[in-house]
Amino acid sequence: MGDYDKAIESYKNSLQSNPENPKILENMGKIYAYFKDFKNAIKYFKESLKYVQRSPEKMKILRKIGDNYSNIHQYDKAKRFYKKALKIEPENADIFISFVKANKLEDNLLSNNNFIDVNHV
């Protein structure tokens, strides 16, 4: 069993006794993201978000969800979560930059898809 499996197993055991602990859920998301399992990371970050009370923590988790959606090229969803984070902290330049990048990458993706479609006609 590798470090990844051990870490996941340890957190899953912790969740059995404390399934609504946002920190454990967030850490699960971080582990999945670290090992590039972005869909599971999103799942755990979203679950964590349900139990977070303070705005700074919510903002950070919303950003992590956006980052993971960007990693799987779902830029429309990424932008949605970045916008939610910016509502909490409108002056956060890092989140704003992430939003702009996701917007640009989405535009490029759409342009490339249109270009490919035109050439295959």
Whether residues 70 and 91 fall in one domain = yes
Mean pLDDT per 10-residue interval, the chain, length 121 residues? 81 91 95 95 97 94 98 97 97 96 88 53 42
H/E stretch holding 43 reads helix 38-49
pLDDT value at position 109?
77
- Residues 6 or more apart in contact with residue 119 via CB below 8 angstroms: none
Closest CA to 51 of 27, 25, 69, 72: 25
pLDDT value at position 86?
97
pLDDT value at position 118?
42
Whether residues 64 and 90 fall in one domain = yes
Whether residues 58 and 45 fall in one domain = no
pLDDT value at position 48?
97
Closest CA to 20 of 52, 60, 43, 42: 52
Radius of gyration of the chain (CA): 17
Whether residues 80 and 106 fall in one domain = yes
Whether residues 44 and 58 fall in one domain = no
pLDDT value at position 34?
93
